[in-house]
Amino acid sequence: MTGLGPLSYFPLFVRSCTFQSGSRVWGCGPCCSAGCPSPFHCLSEQDCNEIKGERFTRLKTKLFVSNVLAEDRGNYMCQTILLHSGKKYKVLNGITVSTKRVEYGGSIPKIIYPKNNSIEVQLGTTLIVDCNITDTKDNTNLRCWRVNNTLVDVYYNESKRIREGVESYVSFQERNLYTVNITFLEVKMEDYGLPFMCHAGVSTAYIILQLPAPDFRAYLIGGLFALMAVAVCVVYFYNIFKIDIVLWYRSAFHPTGTVEDGKLYDAYVLYPKPHKESQRHAVDALVLKILPEVLERQCGYKLFIFGRDEFPGQAVANVIDENVKLCRRLMVIVVPESLGFGLLKNLPEEQIAVYNALIQDGMKVILIELEKIEDYTAMPQSIQYIKQKHGAIRWQGDFTEQSQCAKTKFWKTVRYHMPPRRCPPSLPVQLLQHAPCNRMAGPKLGSRRKKGTLTTV
């Protein structure tokens, strides 16, 4: 070659290759010594021609020989070009190879790991797997990783996504422990189910990558947390919209027919009777006009209002005692003491109604504040108990027609605490009547009037 300096020779290294008859044995390298620059050419010393053929593979500084034969023995030369002090030198390194037959029972490399096993690995992760091999100290067996009968470095030469690592070993008294790893920079779907073979002379073992099995504990814990979150959300939204939900359910799935509970009225209305005309007018407007309009005419409830529904000439105590027992709810209208609620403290009507509701019948009580009451300490003990147990609904309105709509927040709350209405079987004449609450309006209620009391239309 033009411009080349004098030849420089390295000492020859004598190595011995062993093979078993009929087997495939890889190795007899290295061709060049460590640090030998590339590119290089492996030559046969017999004819000084470059070594080529299907059985010969050149990779890095090694020459791999497949299916070693007896005639493969001889001298091999590694030739490359070395640049030194601006001059080019031809560098040669020689290796003498001898072969011998290994009979049955000879020393065969033992692969400790892998053991033809599978490895669970997540998609897209990095994975390093070691191949651990024990072999004699004077062996020339090639230790490498192969896939589809091809060296991994050759198979993935373009992407270099999967590479074979540098071999290392630990020396013991009679044998060496060799380690050569394979590195997956990124596990892809195409790698799953493909056997990656670790070769050590005639010994082989493989690994197969698998997707991890589903972690049912994680799914179970996640499912429990999801159920808890859903339950919390359901309870939260139910507390916000429970009134609308209950009213919708009653409207959509209301039963028909009469209630066989022995009751004639849905609620008994108990209210104060202030002395001042302005105060009495507000209470009477709510009890005798607005309550019947909304609950009876629009929603189909039946109320018993003392002063409107009792028969003339009846004893007050008998009227109250008998009719409270015929009602499903007790509705108590309260006002601040300054508006006259204290006048009711000793009236037998209140005593009898509250006693029957709380003690005898366990009746549910609906407490309605006509105005905001800050302190209940001046109220009777029974009213304080009702407030503490059932709470109170504060009146919201101004006694106008706009306050008489059953779909306002106040009336929805009252209807929520009222018992569910049972609609009677449909009659042709009832289809023409007005029923804003999705209920058939019954016959006009409150027909029994005490003479001289306010009549509601």
Which active-site residues does the annotation give? 349
CA atoms of 208 and 176, how far apart (whole Å): 26
In the block, which residue shows the tokens 């001298």?
A: 75
CA atoms of 318 and 311, how far apart (whole Å): 11
Cβ-based burial of 109 (10 A; exposed 0-12, middle 13-18, buried ≥19): buried
Token pair of 186 as six digits: 């990124």
CA atoms of 95 and 76, how far apart (whole Å): 5
Residue 212 per-residue DSSP state: P
For residue 20, which amino acid is it? Q
- DSSP calls for 27-74: ----SS-TT--SSEEEEETTT-PBP-STTEEEETTEEEESS--GGG-E
Three-state DSSP class for residue 203: strand
Ramachandran class of 262: left when φ > 0, alpha when ψ lies in -120 to 50, beta otherwise: left
Residue 261 per-residue DSSP state: S
Ramachandran class of 47: left when φ > 0, alpha when ψ lies in -120 to 50, beta otherwise: alpha
- Relative orientation angle of helices 348-355 and 381-390, to the nearest 10 degrees: 40
Residues in the chain: 457
